[in-house]
Amino acid sequence: MSNTEVYNWSDKVILVVEDEEVNTYFFQAALRKTEAKLLFASSGREAIDLATSDTHIDLILMDIRLPELDGYEATRQIKEKRPEIPIVAQTAYAMANERENILKAGCNDYISKPIRFKVLMDTIAKYLD
């Protein structure tokens, strides 16, 4: 993707799991031009409820550090019921063992915070396009 090109995901639904409001603004702004429909969950529990009841979700952006039920556990439970939904973890810790745990939990991919726009777009595109 060049700098002037924009992905079109107007027929796609992305579930953003993120407990920090300021980060949800980032995703809204970053994804606006793609016209993807965004759903938001602010806890692992809410993410599981949405992902297992809404049959139209095409991809999940999963925060790892969440209150109560973390992103690892939420991913495990979602993948049990909806293994076909790609889950991209987004995490502030880029430690080697964390990457391993993310993939072990069932995430398809991961991106590190602070999230770079192009990395976000190209990672999502791998699973949507």
CB 110 to Mg ion: min, Å: 14
98 binds Mg ion (CB under 5 A): no
Which of 17, 31, 63, 123 touches Mg ion (CB under 5 A)? Answer: 63
CB 19 to Mg ion: min, Å: 4
Stretch that binds Mg ion, among 11-19, 77-85, 98-106, 119-127 (CB under 5 A): 11-19
Nearer Cβ to Mg ion, position 68 or 80? 68
List the one residue out of 66, 65, 69, 77 whose CA is nearest residue 106: 77
Give me the torsion for CA of 42, 44, 45, 48, rounded to 10°: 110
45 binds Mg ion (CB under 5 A): no
Query: Which residues of the shown chain bind Mg ion in the complex (CB under 5 A)?
Result: 19, 63, 65
